[in-house]
Structure 1
Amino acid sequence: MSLTAFDSLITGSLLTDPDTAGLFGDDAIIRAMLEVEGALALAEADCSLLPAEAAHGISEACNSLVIDPATLASGTARDGVPVPALVAELRKAIDPDHARFVHWGATSQDIYDTGLVLRLKQAIKLHETALFELAEQIADLADLHRETPIAARTRMQQATPTSFGLKAAVWLSALLRHLERLEGIRSRVLLLSFGGASGNLAALGAHALDVESCLAERLGLSVSPAPWHTMRDGLDDYAGWLSLVTATLGKIGTDLILLSQNEVAEVRLGGGGGSSTMPNKVNPVGAEALIALARQNAGLLGTLHQAALQEHERSGANWTLEWLTLPQMVVATGASLAHANRLLGSLEVNTEVMRETIVDSKGLMLAEAATFALAKHMPRPEAQAMVKEACKIVTISGLHLFDVLAEAGDAPVDWQALKDPGQHMGASDQMIDRVLETFESLKAKS
């Protein structure tokens, strides 16, 4: 039975990507917890807290043991966390003399949270790789179309000409900031969770911090200065990053949908979906998914922040709430990145239509340029008034704005030269260069 669209066999292929989703399946959760238990035993043996023979026996069992998720169900329902049931299964699989050393000095939250961090470490790497792939595609688009005029739109209305390359560079600039944020995200998320019963590792006595250090090293994680059982700001920070990434991809999806509308047709989206009754339609399914997933993550982020209100040294309710929200956010981000890479990989740019849109405006999109051209020869308020009046005439007569202005006054303006949309893209070229230089610098550091 599927309870969400993410795990549905019908809709899951639209809303997830297999690599990210695989990190949140039951088998992956169990495998990560066993990895922590095995590393814990070895770390405690490193610190002479456990017999080496017992530690290696536990580690080998953790590496080979396969636990059916169903065997943990009743224990999880009873205890509110799967770790006690997992520990019981692990103890059954090893020498009885070694079984008593399993889970020595740890608490369930140590195992579950650290297992989560190990899986998030993989998710972050997957998403970073996908972000770089997407950034490469958009960087190529920005460079290729730096001289391609397109109508800028503000508040859903045609504004002035700009460069389609700059439009792409604006998308890219946000992606680069998300990549730059990852260094800080990693430092705050990839932390060992290890505090024992109440956060002070009392059961490990004088060995506590040595075990903590050895365990973190074995798992490739950093040590938190203090236990973070109920201080979830690192995960909240990461969730914010997920929401930012999907928001940027949703904005790109919105732009692409608007540009690909039949009456606009400035781009064409490959791989669209069909209608059950209208054979003429090619629906922008991938771009729509970007918008839906962005809104989903934005909503879930607020719910996850509710889970930050944890009581004292451990919270059951808010910890559970986190399980309900964070995995969906991670999976949604993976799906968004997959959709975005497919969309950009099949995008067709119709440069002729982009230019025609500007030309068809009969100069109305160049009204700002006309005002500043006239302002060189008269006070700017007078120039604005003159152009505004001319715009009214254009909408009635269908004449070109510059032809109307040429007739209305004798200012020595080369109106014919100003009709070229390519003359009105401002500092687009330099801005594109700045974004591409930032990308090259970021790649050099990675």
Structure 2
Amino acid sequence: MSLTAFDSQVLGPLFTDPDTAALFTDEAMIKAMVDVEGALAAAEGACGVIPQASAAMIEKTCARARIAAHRLSEGTLSDGVPVPALVKELRSQMDADHARFLHWGATSQDISDTGLILRLKSALDLHEARLRQLADTLAGLAAAHRDTPVAARTRTQQATPTSFGLKCAVWLSAVLRHIERLPGLRARLLLLSFGGAAGNLAALGDKAMEVEAALAARLGLGLAPAPWHTMRDGLDEYAGWLSLVTGTLGKMAQDVMLMAQNEVAELRPGSGGGSSTMPNKVNPVGAEVIVALARQNAGLLATMHQAALHEHERSGSNWSIEWLTLPQMVIATGAALAAATRMASELVVRGDVMRANIEASNGLMLAEAAMFALADHMPRPEAQELVKSACKAVNETGTHLFDVLAQRCDLPVDWEALKDPARHMGASGPMIDRVLESHQALGAKS
């Protein structure tokens, strides 16, 4: 039985990404915790805290251990965390003289949290690669369509012409910022969690800091200045980043859906889904899923922030909330990135329809340009009133705005030349160039 859409055999392929989801299986969780236990023993052996022979045996046992998830279920139910049952299973696989040194000086939260961080490290690498792939695709679209006029829409209504390349560059600019945030995020998130029973590593005596440094080095993680058992801002910042990423992808997907509506038809988002009863339908399934995942993450972010209120040096309930929430956010982000990359690469841009939609307004979309052209020859308030009056006439007669203005005023304005929407895309070109330069610079740093 499936309890959520993420683990459903029917709905799962729609809302999950296999590569990201693989990091949150029971098997992946157990392996990460076992890896931490093995690295801890090795670090303690190297620092002289436990016998070298025991450290070698523990490390060897952890490297070959294969612990079935169901073996931990009963212990997790009673202890509220799988680590005690995990330690019991590992000890059963080695001689008692060595087994007693397993998990020396650590607490369950050290093993669980650090195992999670190891998996999040892999998730960040995967998602950064996807973001960079998406950025490359969007950069290609921005460059290819820098001179493609399209109707800008504000508050869902046609505004003035702009460049479709600039629209793509705007999407790209946010994607680049998410990539730029990653070095700082990694530095604050990918930290060893190691505090022992109450956060001060008392059981390790004067070897505490030495073991901590050795363990962090073995796992490729940073050192936190102080234990973060109950200060979860690193995870909360990461959750915020996940929501920011899916929010950007959702905004992009929503734009695509609106531009792909039959009445607009300026884009075709690649392949789509059909209807059970309407053969004419090609639904933008990928874009719809991205929007749904973005809204899901936005809601879950609030839950993650609720979980930040840990009590004193350990909290069971708030820690559990993270287990319920964060994996969904990570998996949703992986799925949204996969869908967005696919959507962008398959996007069909219909420049002819974009221009036709502009021309269908009979010049009303160029009203601002007309006002500024007239303002070169008369006070701007008068120009504004003249254009406003002419717009009313366009709606009544269907005559092009510039033809109405040519009839109503005798001024040296080349109205025919001004009808070309490509002349009214403002500073789109330089703006696109700036974003593309940022994209190239970011690529050079990778």
TM-score by length of 2: 1.00
Separation in 2 of the partners of 1:60 and 1:89? 14
Separation in 2 of the partners of 1:168 and 1:313? 47
Separation in 1 of the partners of 2:33 and 2:10? 30
Q: 1:372: Cα distance to partner?
A: 0.3
- The farther-off stretch of 43-52 and 219-228 is 43-52
Q: Which residue of 2 aligns with 1:73?
A: 73
Separation in 2 of the partners of 1:269 and 1:140? 16
Cα distance per residue 1:191-218 (max 9 Å; x no partner): 0000000000000000000000000000
Cα distance per residue 1:113-162 (max 9 Å; x no partner): 00000000000000000000000000000000000000000000000000
Cα distance per residue 1:383-421 (max 9 Å; x no partner): 000000000000110000000001111121110110001
- Alignment-mate amino acid for residue 298 of structure 1: A
The unaligned stretches of length 5 or more in structure 2 are: none
Q: Which residue of 2 aligns with 1:429?
A: 429
- Alignment-mate amino acid for residue 101 of structure 1: F
Q: Which residue of 1 aligns with 2:212?
A: 212
Q: Which residue of 2 aligns with 1:82?
A: 82
Please give the secondary structure, in 2, of the residue aligned with 1:282: coil
Q: Which residue of 1 aligns with 2:308?
A: 308
Please give the secondary structure, in 1, of the residue aligned with 2:198: coil
Q: Which residue of 1 aligns with 2:397?
A: 397
CA RMSD of aligned residues (A): 0.5
Separation in 2 of the partners of 1:222 and 1:263? 54
Q: 1:53: Cα distance to partner?
A: 1.1
Q: Which residue of 2 aligns with 1:440?
A: 440
Separation in 2 of the partners of 1:162 and 1:176? 22
The unaligned stretches of length 5 or more in structure 1 are: none
Q: Which residue of 2 aligns with 1:377?
A: 377
Q: Which residue of 2 aligns with 1:272?
A: 272
Q: 1:345: Cα distance to partner?
A: 1.2
Q: In the alignment, is residue 131 of structure 1 matched against residue 134 of structure 2? A: no
Q: Which residue of 2 aligns with 1:243?
A: 243
Q: Which residue of 1 aligns with 2:152?
A: 152
Please give the secondary structure, in 1, of the residue aligned with 2:422: helix
Q: Which residue of 2 aligns with 1:333?
A: 333
Work out the number of aligned pairs and report it: 446
Separation in 1 of the partners of 2:23 and 2:169? 32
Please give the secondary structure, in 1, of the residue aligned with 2:407: helix
Separation in 2 of the partners of 1:207 and 1:232? 26
Separation in 1 of the partners of 2:254 and 2:352? 22
Counterparts of 1:152-301 in structure 2 under 5 Å? 152-301=152-301
Please give the secondary structure, in 2, of the residue aligned with 1:81: coil
Separation in 2 of the partners of 1:228 and 1:95? 34
Counterparts of 1:344-383 in structure 2 under 5 Å? 344-383=344-383
Please give the secondary structure, in 2, of the residue aligned with 1:6: helix
- The farther-off stretch of 45-54 and 173-182 is 45-54
- Alignment-mate amino acid for residue 19 of structure 2: D
Q: Which residue of 1 aligns with 2:106?
A: 106
| Residue identity (%) | 68
